[in-house]
Amino acid sequence: MRSRYTAFALRDTTYLLASWHASTRPATLLLDDTPAQKWIGLQIRSHQVLDADHATVEFLARYRIGGRAQRLHETSRFVREGEYWFYVDGDIHD
């Protein structure tokens, strides 16, 4: 989760796509940059290992757009294949 947050902050779409599970990965990823987001913090709220190859992570990511603070609160699902964990999808919280 932390590496994907860093990739969003650095606008590294190559890493974001590579760390996205093939079953849900989009063909391309265009990050909206009008106006650009400035990521300012990540808080991991909880982490649950469901079994050896499945886990969830609840997080709160904070960012600014045009000086206004915003937040993304999500519970993400991950699956492990071999040595690597992949983002599958997530539920956004209000």
Please tell me the predicted confidence (pLDDT) of residue 37: 85
Walk me through the domains of the chain, giving residue ranges and CATH numbers.
2-21+37-92 (3.10.450.50)
The overall average pLDDT reported for the chain is 94
CB 13 within 8 A of CB 31: yes
- State the pLDDT confidence band at 66, using cuts at 50, 70 and 90: confident
pLDDT at 84 over 90: yes
User: Shortest CA distance to 6 belongs to which of 53, 55, 59, 56?
Assistant: 59
pLDDT in tens, 1-24: 899 999 999 999 999 999 999 999
